[in-house]
Amino acid sequence: MPLIIGLTGSIASGKGAVSEILTGFGAIHGDADKIVHALYEPGKPAYYRIIEAFGNDIIQSDEFIDRKKLGAKVFGKPEAMKLLTSSIGNISEAIHDTILSWRNTLPENGIGVLEAVNLIEAGYSQWTDVTWLVGCDEKIALPRLMKRNNFSEEEAMQRIASQKSWQEREPASDLLIMNNESIAILTNKVTEEFNSLYDRYQNNKLEPSRYIEWQKNN
């Protein structure tokens, strides 16, 4: 059966960089955000529900929904976010279907990586074999996010504050990878951890995920 790695971490922690390293080992990568975005592409039922809920001003010239404008309408507004989530539809089902597809189509020694900021909170970890957490100190993440998203310091701090810290997610994770240094150091860390994980997986020595016990108590 293929090995499925769940990968999580707060915004600007370096999840994407870790995913790139893992795909270099032959892993197939799925980004939960992109899976969700596909649910409300033009012509799909969720597309019309979102426009009805949030207005025509979120439609771009190419007919796709402007996610930046949509995000501005829901960020920091729990009721609006709840409305968006219900308008999109069954997100968990779409994520689960992706993982089931990997289980059914990848070769016996294949690897799938599901990247999701809310992997633990949304329960997606129940469908993965291990949960990897990428951590980053706020003083490192802040300038990264400002540069990447062209945010002001205030905007970046709001985004970081809106998500759970790595310290809160660590009890449900099988591995914490701190990403406060260079990409070379990160690559070495991920390579070492992946080789160890894959060796245990191939020799049927993979321990039960810590998420299982965490889920029972939360």
User: What does the domain layout of the chain look like in residue ranges?
Assistant: 3-34+94-212, 37-88
pLDDT of amino acid 98: 97
Split at pLDDT 50, 70, 90, the class of 43 is very high
Residues, the chain = 218
Class of domain 3-34+94-212: alpha beta
Contact between residue 127 and residue 97 where contact means Cβ atoms under 8 Å apart = no
pLDDT of amino acid 75: 86
Kindly report the pTM of this predicted structure.
Answer: 0.93
Q: Which two tokens stand for residue 122?
A: 């949304």
Sequential DSSP letters for 48-106:
HHHHHHH-GGGB-TTSSB-HHHHHHHHTT-HHHHHHHHHHH--HHHHHHHHHHHHHHHS
* For helices 45-54 and 67-74, angle between their N-to-C axes, nearest 10 degrees: 50
Reported as a single tens digit per residue, the pLDDT across 147-202 is 999 999 998 998 898 889 999 999 999 999 999 999 999 999 999 999 999 999 99
pLDDT of amino acid 162: 87
Q: Tell me the CA distances in angstroms from 191 to 8, 183, 187, one per residue in order.
A: 17, 12, 6
Contact between residue 8 and residue 132 where contact means Cβ atoms under 8 Å apart = yes
Letter string b/e over residues 23-46, b meaning 16 or more CB atoms within 10 A of that residue's CB: eeeebbbbbbeebbeebbeeeeeb
Phi and psi at residue 44, to the nearest 5°: -85, 150
Q: How far apart are CA 84 and CA 96, in angstroms?
A: 20
Sheet harboring 28-31: ordered strands across? Answer: 28-31, 111-115, 3-8, 130-135, 175-178
Q: Which residue has the higher pLDDT, 41 or 1?
A: 41
